[in-house]
Amino acid sequence: MFGKILIANRGEIACRVIRTARRMNIATVAVYSDADARAPHVTMADEAIRIGPAPASDSYLRGDLILEAAKRTGTEAIHPGYGFLSERADFAEACAAAGIAFIGPPAAAIAAMGDKIQSKKIAEAAGVNVVPGHPGPVSDTAEALRVAAAIGYPVMIKASAGGGGKGMRLAHDEAGVRDGFDATRREAAAAFGDDRVLIEKFIERPRHIEIQLLGDQHGNLVYLGERECSIQRRHQKVVEEAPSPFVTPAMRRAMGEQAIALARAVGYHSAGTVELIVSGGDPSGAGFYFLEMNTRLQVEHPVTEAITGVDLVEQMIRVAAGERLALTQDQVALNGWAIETRIYAEDPYRGFLPSTGRLIRYAPPAAGADPHGARIRIDDGVAEGSAITRFYDPMIAKLISWAPDRAGAIDAQARALEQFEIEGPATNIDLAAALMRHPRFRAGDLETGFIAQEYPGGFDGAPIDPVRRRALIALAVRLAAADLNGAGVRDWSVRIGSEDVAAAITGNAVTVEGGTLSIDPVAVPGSAIVRAMVNGDPLTAHVTRTPLGMVLRSGGARLDLRVLPARIATYADHLTNGDKDAGPPGIVAPMAGVVAQVMVRRGQHVQAGEPIAVIEAMKMENVVRADRAGIVATVMVTTGQNISADQVMIDFA
User: Which of helix, strand or coil describes residue 509?
Assistant: strand
How far apart are alpha carbons 624 and 593 in whole angstroms? Answer: 12
Radius of gyration of the chain from its Cα atoms, rounded to whole angstroms: 26
What is the distance in angstroms between the CA of the first residue and the CA of the last residue of the chain?
A: 69
Residue 611 CB neighbours (<10 A): 15
Q: Is the dihedral of CA 82, 251, 159, 126 positive or negative?
A: positive
Contact call for residues 284 and 205 (beta carbons, < 8 A): no
Reply yes or no on whether 292 is catalytic.
Answer: yes
What's the CA gap between 66 and 95, in Å, rounded? 10
Coarse DSSP helix, strand, coil percentages of the chain, rounded to the nearest 5 percent: 30, 35, 35
Would you say 202 and 154 are in contact if contact means Cβ atoms under 8 Å apart? yes
**How many residues are present in the chain?**
653
Q: Please report how many Cα atoms fall inside a 13 Å half-sphere around the Cα of residue 295, on the Cβ side.
A: 30
Compute the distance between CA of residue 383 and CA of residue 363 in angstroms, rounded to an integer.
8
Looking at the chain, the number of H-run helices and the number of E-run strands are 17, 39
Distance CA 33, CA 56 (A): 8
Strand intervals (E) in 44-165:
47-52, 77-79, 101-102, 155-163
Burial 297-332 (b: 16+ CB within 10 A, else e): bbbbbbbbbbbbebbbbbbbbbbbbeeebebeeeeb
Output the DSSP codes for 250-272: HHHHHHHHHHHHHHHHTT--EEE
514: exposed, middle or buried (Cβ count in 10 Å: 0-12, 13-18, 19+): exposed
* Of 292, 305, 346, 616, catalytic: 292
Q: How far is CA 422 from the centre of its chain?
A: 16
Closest C-alpha to 394, from 638, 87, 159, 165: 165
CB-count exposure of residue 387 (10 Å: 0-12, 13-18, 19+): middle
Of 372, 377, 422, 429, the residue nearest 554 (C-alpha):
429
Give the Cα separation of 398 and 403 in Å (integer): 17
Residue whose C-alpha is closest to residue 246's, from 389, 80, 448, 532:
448
Bridge-based pairing of strands 387-388 and 357-358 is antiparallel
The answer to whether 40 touches 383, Cβ cutoff 8 Å, is yes
Q: What are the beta bridge partners of residue 637? A: none
Closest by CA position to 510, among listed 549, 554, 466, 478 = 478
CB 33 within 8 A of CB 53: yes
Secondary structure letter of residue 58 according to DSSP: G
- Calpha distance 420→417 (Å, rounded): 5
For 59, 145, 306, 546, the CA distances from 338, given in Å and listed in that order, are 35, 42, 6, 38
Is residue 248 classed as helix, strand or coil in its secondary structure? Answer: coil
Among all residues, which ones are annotated catalytic? Answer: 292
